[in-house]
Amino acid sequence: MDDRFNTIAGWALFAGVVGLGLSSVSSHYFRADRPHRPETMGYEIEGVEAEGGGAGEVPIATLLATADVAKGESVFAKCTSCHTINAGGANGIGPNLHGVLGKPLAQHAGFAFSDALKSKGGTWTFETMNEWLKSPKAFAPGTKMTFAGLSKAEDRANLMAWMNTQGSNLPLPEAPAAEAPAEEGAAEDGSVNPPGGGAEPAPSGEQAEAGAMAQPAPKLEGGGDKAGTIASPVSP
């Protein structure tokens, strides 16, 4: 009986040693015990702009000039769970938005706005609405608006273009003029170079002297080429 117990205990101990050894070998093989930097840091979240991504953003006035009203109506589908936009429509979780562009902020009849939005003041211009749609919480910290915002400027432009047709009908802001390219042939100092080349250099002193010597010699008195008395320019 004792021999059998010792045999079982020995095999159990051996199995434990083997298991521990295999675990150590596998951990070293897969480098599981070495903290290392992952090849890809995190995951991209849809709808969230990358840090610093707005540095080269196109002005909203430029996007409004070519906005797609039909696409803007599709974007508004995200808002219908909280808002109506038809004339005389009822307030929901959010206020009715008919003709909202051009109206004062946080002053729609029958709706209780947050103090954060009421404190902003001003009117709903295209620029103001663009900032609000981009991130309500950043525009008015403390707002009751739970919508995260529209990260794509094109979506915001399309949405505002469509909302403008729903009772506002404001003139679109003028797009900033594109920078004109430098005039061909214009030098940095403002002078104009001749076509196909740079400005002609001023003649050097030797060239000027050579040019002066090349001038025809004054005629001698008597009209000949032989030496004679030079005619005086003063009348006798």
> Could you report the per-residue pLDDT of 225-234, keeping only the tens digit for each?
444 444 444 4
pLDDT higher at 161 or 190: 161
Phi first, then psi: what are they for 13, rounded to 5°? -65, -40
Q: What is the mean pLDDT of residues 219-228?
A: 44
**pLDDT class of 26 with cuts at 50, 70, 90:** low
Local structure of residue 232 (DSSP, 8 states): P
pLDDT of residue 181: 57
Task: DSSP letter for 1, please.
Answer: -
**Is the pLDDT assigned to residue 157 strictly greater than 60?**
yes
Region 201-214 average pLDDT: 51
Two structure tokens written together for 65: 């000039």
pTM for this entry: 0.55
In sequence order, the 6+-apart residues with CB closer than 8 A to the CB of 108 are 91, 95, 96, 100
Least confident window among 8-17, 22-31, 156-165: 22-31
pLDDT band at 189 (very low <50, low <70, confident <90, very high): low
93, 81 contact by CB (below 8 A): yes
Mean pLDDT, all residues of the chain: 75
Domains belonging to the chain, first-starting first, are 61-164 (1.10.760.10)
Look at residue 203 and tell me whether its pLDDT is greater than 90: no
CA dihedral for 83, 145, 169, 174, sign (positive or negative)? negative
What does the longest C-alpha to C-alpha distance in the chain come to? 162
Model confidence at 191: pLDDT above 80? no
Hey, what are 96's tokens? 């009715």
Residue 45: predicted pLDDT = 46
